[in-house]
Chain A
């Protein structure tokens, strides 16, 4: 059983929802990334989505764009991210880690080598924003060979036939993007999510995480009532941006604890 699957099964037994924080590796600096990951885990994160910075983050709003720029300025790269995961795994063998980013850095490394490295360092899942199922056959083959879960996005615009297609390919969990827009934009429309989820559930047997637009405890609770996991990204990255290296761990830990309580109230 994969770490992701194990995590969700345990949560299900406890009748709890997953809290899935995202932040960009290397932001504010590479030396803070592993301590931040441990802080997330000890403050209540169930899965960590670790952003791989990219020069052209087309699906991201200004907050995560700036995080990518900061990380790249610090020399962060896909190789560097994989090394950081290896370091994290030395003292944490339980918390699933999902790499999230754009396809080109992986294309540059080569999918075969990338999947091998993921398996070696203990990456559990990979989400490439700009690789839809139609273009993912090579990626899928290599990830599957090494037991890495391909995580797919579904959107409010996704129609039934594509939901079925994603249902066949997806492993681990499925990430439902709750609004039309880039990361960190707009405000969440709970009734729209509530309407869409039954259609998703009809085909998707995996846990469904919902993200985009979750900015505080109240929305986290409300979203958690509807799904299996709550993904929080820009809000955390904003917290990192507003902190310094001395207090960033404390600030992020406090935020995660607050979100954990909120998710558990669902």
Chain B
């Protein structure tokens, strides 16, 4: 029986609580409060209610039959997280953490965001629960995800552009941590992915597990059995761990995480620390595989998708790779773009560029599999936010 993390927040050598002293008591308080509420019937009931009536869960599973037929092999099924309120899986976690924040008496929430989906989800729950909301976003990401920036503002959040470092997700994390250390007593940091100091990787996983728990019920209803493989994109890896975790103890189901290969892992311009076998290091509160140079400086990553453009990855993914339970692969920018267009044209679904990486890997392996095999891909978000990027890459001005 798989049972991680251990009591100190470690998944083997990964994870932990690598934070500055000022924040250690805050992280410890969060751990205690989370453990207190995670099994509390009233908390669970409120979370379930919000997921059902506010988010619109359960999200359906859809058989992408046209696309599967064209590919000529395994059948591709999509877990439709893109149909959630706010358009991605991020809302599951944002609600869970906001409900916890309320119980902890915190009236100000902060978040980092890359593609903007977690920022939108946080701004949304802050509006819903009447909290002040500050979202840190890299200046580069503000450029490429401008529709989401305006959405956050409409929802009443303050979006703070981050101009330090590579001006992307990791720098937004740095800035959010700086805010938290300054406002530790009043502020709850709604962290967007299954990474960071303990208990975040565990807590975010638990809130996102609804994805895999639903799929485990839905797949037998649809096809009479579980899929042969579950596939999800991995930046920090919250949508992936949400789908994977309930399947860890189901040995016949293959687990495949898809990282952002950027210009190609061999080019060095990627965001694929697991596929590239990057050395283990410490960033943003946890020990994980990190894209870094030989001196331990974090390197700039590259991905077409802002949500995957991150040098680290959640500690549980590092561990699942280490113990051989999950496999991690990379999909390049152009492969993701191709899957993006295919899903638009053949299924009438505009996928997020992040999710397009998982789709592209399914498209890559499906033709080599027999038609009775089933791949379940997490369609973690919708692609409306990406149309400017896609148009620009296609040479079109909107």
Task: Name A's B-contacting residues (CB within 8 A).
Answer: 54-59, 61-62, 65, 69, 72, 77-79, 102-109, 129-132, 134-135, 152-159, 162, 177, 180-182, 185-186
Closest beta carbon of chain B to A128's beta carbon, Å: 9
Tell whether, in the assembled complex, residue A72 and residue B297 are in contact, meaning their CB atoms are under 8 Å apart.
Answer: yes
A180–B21 touching, CB < 8 Å: no
CB contacts (< 8 Å) of B20 on chain A: these are 58-59, 129-130, 132, 153, 155
Chain A CB count within 10 A is highest, among B171, B173, B183, B281, for B281
B296 at interface, CB cutoff 8 A: yes
| Contact partners of A132 in chain B: CB under 8 A | 17-21, 24
Among B8, B18, B298, which residue has the most Cβ atoms of chain A within 10 A?
B18
| Interchain CB contact under 8 A, A105 and B297 | yes
Q: How far is the CA of A153 from the CA of B20 in the complex (A)?
A: 8
B16 near A162: Cβ-Cβ < 8 Å: no
| Contact between chains at B290 and A58 (CB < 8 Å) | no
A61 to B17, CA, bound (A): 21
Q: Which 5 A-B pairs have the closest CB atoms?
A: A108-B296, A105-B296, A155-B22, A77-B295, A181-B182
**Neighbouring A residues of B178 by C-beta, 8 Å:** 58-59, 61, 182
Partner pick for A55 among B184, B185, B297, CB 8 A cutoff: B297
Asked if A104 contacts B296 (CB within 8 A), the reply is yes
Q: Kindly state whether residue B170 has any CB partner on chain A within 8 Å.
A: yes
Cβ proximity bits B1-19 to A, threshold 8 Å, 1 near / 0 not: 0000000100000001111
With contacts A58-B174, A134-B16, A181-B182 known, is A108 near B21, CB below 8 A? no
Pick 7 A–B contacts, CB within 8 A, sort by A.
A54-B297, A56-B174, A107-B280, A108-B292, A132-B21, A153-B22, A162-B25
Question: Which residue of the partner chain B has the closest CB to A66?
Answer: B164
Chain B residue at minimal CB-CB distance from A101: B296
A177 engages B21 (CB within 8 Å): yes
Is B255 in the interface zone, CB < 8 Å from A? no
- State the Cβ distance, A158 to closest chain B Cβ, in Å: 6
Docked-complex contact B21 and A104, CB < 8 angstroms: no
Q: Is the CB of A157 within 8 A of B282?
A: no
B25 surroundings in chain A (CB, below 8 A): 155, 157-159, 162
Please state if A130 and B18 are interface contacts (CB–CB under 8 Å).
yes
Residues of chain B from 239 to 262 with CB closer than 8 A to chain A in the complex: none
CB nearest neighbor in B for A54? B297
- Whether B19 and A130, one on each chain, are in contact in the complex, defined by CB atoms closer than 8 angstroms, is yes
**In the docked arrangement, what's the CA distance between A72 and B298, Å?**
11
Asked if residues B282 and A107 are in contact (CB atoms below 8 Å), the reply is: yes
B33-74 interface code vs A (CB 8 A; 1 in, 0 out): 000000000000000000000000000000000000000000
Contact with A along B272-297 (1 / 0, CB 8 A): 00000001111111010010101111
B177 shortest CB reach to chain A, Å: 5
Q: Nearest chain-B residue to A156 (Cβ)?
A: B22
CB distance from A72 to the nearest CB of B (A): 6
